[in-house]
A and B are shown apart, each in its own frame.
Chain A
Amino acid sequence: MINKRICFSKTGRLKFIGHLDLLRTFQRAFRRAEVPLAYSQGFNPHPLLSFANPLGLGMTSADEYADLTLETPMDNEEILRRTNAQLPPGLSLSRCIDLPEHYETAMALVTASTYEITFPEKDVDWAALTSAFFAQEQIMIRRLGKVRGRKQWLDVDVKGLIYQYEMSDANTLVLTCACGSTVNLKVDSLLECFYAFIEHLEWVHEETIHRTHLYQTQGGQFVSLM
């Protein structure tokens, strides 16, 4: 088995493409690029390609990852060159590395991510509002969860999932929080909660959200996935 990990960015209009559509976009780009993706065995064979963590609709990112398996060997530089020539504007591979035959998937590795959230220019003291928001003893959000197998709305305290935050300028919040398949904080839910907290402003999706990093944890430190 020839396993690879790629790092890519998703910018511009591509922020409106959902996760499944992105997967199909990549599958087709690899086929056009003649990058020999291997297929799964079984009744419905599908190309062996999996993403580290789905990015929410409307967000851009500089640091996304996917794992793939090839049928025949191909040089990493060649994969980058061929695939980038086939990707639409807004998607771009930056790196490609070899993985061993047995490896932990990017999906399993991800533990945290950093977002840059730029609030709209308004006569609002975003720094004061965010610090008041994060200073709460509990930050309760509503999420759909399962209780004994049945879906229902739950109130969950996510304060522990927020690892770091600071305002990098008057409008921009840099937030590092839990991300991944075990614990995950949805930025959308947090924003909804934030706007409910500040009460006098309605949430109209005016901020831009950009993911700058996806991390794994190694020796208690957040480090890059490759």
Chain B
Amino acid sequence: MQVHIPDSVLLSVQKPARYIGGEVNMVRKEITDDLIRFCFCFPDVYDIGMSHLGLQVLYHDYNRYDDVYMERCFAPWPDMEEQMIQHQIPLYSLETFTRIRDFDFLGFTLQYEMSFTNILNMLHLGDIPIFAKDRTDDDPLVCAGGSTGYNPEPLAAFIDFFYMGEGEVAFGSIFEAYRKHRAQGLPRRAFLEELAKIPGIYVPAFYTVTYEDHPAEGCDHTPRIASIRPNRPDVPEKVVKLICEEMDKVPYPTSPIIPYLQTVQDRAVLEIFRGCIRGCRFCQAGMVYRPVRQRSKANLLTLADELLKNTGYDELSFSSLSSNDYPQIFELIQEIHERYPHINVSLPSLRVDAFSLDLMERLAEGKKSGLTFAAEGGSQRLRDVINKNITEEEILNGVHLAFQGGWNRVKLYFMLGLPTETEEDIEGISRLAQAIVDEYFSIDKAIRAKDLKVTVSTSFFVPKPFTPFQWVAQTSYEEYMGKQQFLNGKIRNRKVQYNCHDAFLSTLEGYFARGDRRMADLIYTAWKKGCRFDSWSDMFLEDAWKEAIEECGIEAAYYITRERAKDEVFPWDHIDVGVRKEFLYHEYERAKQGVTSPNCREQCSGCGIKKLASHGICYGEEAGRDQ
């Protein structure tokens, strides 16, 4: 059914362009009965969702199939939601204004925990039963995937099936199975049974979680998980993540949809490689996106040509977890610069050294934007614990060169609440900021630029699944705030600005990051109380969340502040991302000893990822093949 949106509705909301589709490069198809209709659902507002590279990748990948039509849907901003409810407009897709309950599949992308209530809200606005168990053959199949989905359990009650791994790999098999299923007219359950046999697919209903018969140590009533086992003989014990093996053969969206609205990422984006060689112990992306796989320079240049030609963007951004680690980054930028003198190239995640400063100067053509250092820990000891491979000397050398080159703004990012952190480590943050200020004043007035500004930002460390820190106790809300206050008292220099914020959101994120199926009640209760857009500070309903936690009996002592035992059965133990649990524990022990581990380029640590690929690719081998 097509939805009609009166102009008067669109004219009464902010940014109506969020709700009309029709952008350049949007895919149009004729609607026929045998079309498989898939709606990509981004559980946040259009401006955020359209900046997500994964959406563009899958959109163009799935729309290559003649009999598949992937459309898009975003969470309506509350002003539009109000209008939709008032005018009884169900949630609809932007391509054809079809209500989402008419689709065969709805696919939610999971990018951050604080988007979970938006998923429930979108299902509700789409007139689709919230709980998977309540859906019938008339409802769409609701699936989800994305980096936050590697621990699918908090959402297990709401999602029919999860896709584990990179979206380009197995949807062909899913559509194939669906064609057969539809031709035979089998019930939904039978299709899910078929799906569960496809590698990478996790159907929560086919797995049973059992709990111990007593509360966990130090907890009032919450028992630990005893086991997570398949409840059918034909589904795998472990669902293994899917990866693309050769990046140069993976299709790339060189005709991305170009929003009319200015979005967060309003530029052409080129993914130069996947994975990260660094192995920072707090970083989930660094573990779950393994192994490192890069596109060849020749391929990237071709893709850049097509991208710029098809979009007309005047800015090109490279996407990766650490731009410097692309072996031919300098040549790549040089060549793009020569071909397109009017195009700005931007590099996120750049480490600062003489080489990259030279690069930045070149890129910005004399414009000096700020320098950013993600030091994460305030002392060398703590940086060794987290395996963050940056030394104070490197930072100070970097800023020294930068100040000599005329830069005057430095941003520093740290985390508070890292494992083993002491007051001395926290004080190290203010000492480092001070050392940077001293470095600036050590340079001759005639050379340095005026008005130094050093900005220190801290976030709160939340332990994530599939990292060496998945066992650690998360810092409590009170301790987080105490640490922040302590640091605030130490930063005295007027040149240094400290950005701090409330920690409750980080605590909440902690429940979901390492949460299990018992979170369903909490998410549902909070949503019922009106929570949505929780990652937007002006929308965040702190009291409603606190009430919901209380009512659902969710124990912080269990989920947040508890150090997990070595043999803990994690809620995500039936998911295999390639990196072995033993490796992660080994890394955790090295962390506690303050011993760093080499990066993948220096020496293989045997994390286990090699077993995922058919010919055991990893960084070294692939680089060898590339040359």
Q: Are B260 and A58 in contact (CB under 8 A)?
A: no
Q: Are A57 and B16 in contact (CB under 8 A)?
A: yes
Please, how many residues of chain B have a CB less than 8 angstroms from a CB on the other chain? 26
Q: Are A90 and B22 in contact (CB under 8 A)?
A: yes
Q: Which of B8, B10, B17 meets A18, CB within 8 Å? A: B17
* B312 / chain A contacts, CB cutoff of 8 Å: 27-32, 86
Answer whether residue A127 sits at the interface, using C-beta atoms and an 8 A cutoff: no
* B478 / chain A contacts, CB cutoff of 8 Å: none
Question: Contact mask A1-33 → B, CB, 8 Å, 1/0?
Answer: 000000000001111111011001101111110
Answer whether residue A103 sits at the interface, using C-beta atoms and an 8 A cutoff: no
Q: Are B258 and A28 in contact (CB under 8 A)?
A: yes
* B490 / chain A contacts, CB cutoff of 8 Å: none
With A16-B20, A28-B311 in contact, do A205 and B7 touch (Cβ < 8 Å)?
yes
A27 to B11, CA, bound (A): 25
* B353 / chain A contacts, CB cutoff of 8 Å: none
Answer whether residue A204 sits at the interface, using C-beta atoms and an 8 A cutoff: yes
Q: Which of A43, A45, A88, A205 meets B22, CB within 8 Å? A: A88
* B311 / chain A contacts, CB cutoff of 8 Å: 28, 32
Q: Are B24 and A88 in contact (CB under 8 A)?
A: yes
Q: Which of B8, B261, B313 meets A206, CB within 8 Å? A: B8
Answer whether residue A208 sits at the interface, using C-beta atoms and an 8 A cutoff: yes
Q: Are B23 and A28 in contact (CB under 8 A)?
A: no
With A13-B22, A88-B23 in contact, do A31 and B11 touch (Cβ < 8 Å)?
no
Q: Are A208 and B7 in contact (CB under 8 A)?
A: yes
A55 to B342, CA, bound (A): 29
* Smallest beta-carbon distance B80→chain A, Å: 12
A133 to B148, CA, bound (A): 59
A15 to B309, CA, bound (A): 26
Answer whether residue B262 sits at the interface, using C-beta atoms and an 8 A cutoff: yes
Query: For residues 17 through 64 of chain A, which have their beta carbon under 8 Å from a beta carbon of chain B?
Result: 17-18, 20-21, 24-25, 27-32, 39, 43, 45, 57-58
Answer whether residue A89 sits at the interface, using C-beta atoms and an 8 A cutoff: yes
Q: How large is the interface on A (under 10, 10 to 19, 20 to 34, 35 or more residues)?
A: 20 to 34
Q: Are A16 and B17 in contact (CB under 8 A)?
A: yes
* Smallest beta-carbon distance B179→chain A, Å: 32
Answer whether residue B314 sits at the interface, using C-beta atoms and an 8 A cutoff: yes
With A27-B312, A88-B23 in contact, do A21 and B11 touch (Cβ < 8 Å)?
no
**Shortest Cβ distance from B313 into A: residue:** A28
* Smallest beta-carbon distance A27→chain B, Å: 7
A204 to B87, CA, bound (A): 13
The interface residues of chain B, by DSSP majority, are classed as loop
Q: Which of B12, B20, B24 meets A28, CB within 8 Å? A: B24
Query: For residues 299 through 347 of chain B, which have their beta carbon under 8 Å from a beta carbon of chain A?
Result: 308-314, 342
Query: For residues 74 through 89 of chain A, which have their beta carbon under 8 Å from a beta carbon of chain B?
Result: 86, 88-89
* Smallest beta-carbon distance B202→chain A, Å: 39
* B308 / chain A contacts, CB cutoff of 8 Å: 31
* Smallest beta-carbon distance A133→chain B, Å: 21
A28 to B367, CA, bound (A): 24
* B7 / chain A contacts, CB cutoff of 8 Å: 15, 58, 205-206, 208
* Smallest beta-carbon distance A191→chain B, Å: 11
A128 to B260, CA, bound (A): 40
A206 to B7, CA, bound (A): 7
Question: Contact mask B1-33 → A, CB, 8 Å, 1/0?
Answer: 000001110111000110011111000000000
A120 to B314, CA, bound (A): 43
* B8 / chain A contacts, CB cutoff of 8 Å: 204-206
**Shortest Cβ distance from A44 into B: residue:** B367
A13 to B309, CA, bound (A): 25
A39 to B344, CA, bound (A): 14
* A204 / chain B contacts, CB cutoff of 8 Å: 8, 12
**Shortest Cβ distance from A204 into B: residue:** B8
* A205 / chain B contacts, CB cutoff of 8 Å: 7-8, 11-12
A50 to B288, CA, bound (A): 48
* Smallest beta-carbon distance B7→chain A, Å: 7
**Shortest Cβ distance from A34 into B: residue:** B309
Q: Are B314 and A21 in contact (CB under 8 A)?
A: no
* B10 / chain A contacts, CB cutoff of 8 Å: 16, 58
Q: Are B260 and A21 in contact (CB under 8 A)?
A: yes
* A25 / chain B contacts, CB cutoff of 8 Å: 24, 260
A12 to B17, CA, bound (A): 12
* A16 / chain B contacts, CB cutoff of 8 Å: 10, 16-17, 20
A14 to B262, CA, bound (A): 15
* Smallest beta-carbon distance B12→chain A, Å: 6
* A32 / chain B contacts, CB cutoff of 8 Å: 309-312
* B16 / chain A contacts, CB cutoff of 8 Å: 16, 57-58
Q: Which of A25, A39, A43, A90 has the most CB of B within 10 A?
A: A25
A32 to B310, CA, bound (A): 6
A17 to B261, CA, bound (A): 8
A147 to B312, CA, bound (A): 42
* B22 / chain A contacts, CB cutoff of 8 Å: 12-14, 88-90
* A30 / chain B contacts, CB cutoff of 8 Å: 312
**Shortest Cβ distance from A206 into B: residue:** B8
* Smallest beta-carbon distance A78→chain B, Å: 17
A206 to B23, CA, bound (A): 25
A24 to B12, CA, bound (A): 24
Question: Contact mask A151-164 → B, CB, 8 Å, 1/0?
Answer: 00000000000000
* B314 / chain A contacts, CB cutoff of 8 Å: 27, 31
A211 to B464, CA, bound (A): 56
A31 to B8, CA, bound (A): 34
Question: Contact mask B397-437 → A, CB, 8 Å, 1/0?
Answer: 00000000000000000000000000000000000000000
Q: Which of B6, B17, B21 meets A21, CB within 8 Å? A: B17
A118 to B8, CA, bound (A): 13
* Smallest beta-carbon distance A202→chain B, Å: 11
A24 to B314, CA, bound (A): 10
* Smallest beta-carbon distance B29→chain A, Å: 15
* B23 / chain A contacts, CB cutoff of 8 Å: 88
A204 to B7, CA, bound (A): 10
A58 to B309, CA, bound (A): 31
A31 to B125, CA, bound (A): 39
* B24 / chain A contacts, CB cutoff of 8 Å: 25, 28-29, 86, 88
With A89-B22, A205-B7, A208-B7 in contact, do A17 and B17 touch (Cβ < 8 Å)?
yes
* A90 / chain B contacts, CB cutoff of 8 Å: 22
Question: Contact mask B56-98 → A, CB, 8 Å, 1/0?
Answer: 0000000000000000000000000000000000000000000
**Shortest Cβ distance from A33 into B: residue:** B312
Nearest 5 CB-CB pairings of A with B: A28-B312, A31-B312, A32-B312, A16-B16, A205-B11
| Sampled A-B contacts (30; CB under 8 Å) | A12-B22, A13-B20, A13-B21, A14-B22, A17-B260, A20-B262, A21-B17, A21-B260, A21-B261, A24-B260, A25-B24, A28-B312, A29-B24, A30-B312, A31-B313, A32-B310, A32-B311, A32-B312, A57-B11, A57-B16, A58-B11, A58-B16, A86-B312, A88-B24, A89-B22, A90-B22, A205-B7, A205-B8, A206-B7, A208-B7
Since A16-B10, A25-B260, A57-B16 are in contact, a sample of 17 more A-B pairs with Cβ atoms closer than 8 Å, ordered by chain A residue number, is A13-B21, A13-B22, A21-B260, A27-B314, A28-B312, A28-B313, A29-B24, A31-B313, A57-B11, A58-B7, A58-B16, A88-B22, A89-B22, A204-B12, A205-B7, A205-B12, A206-B8
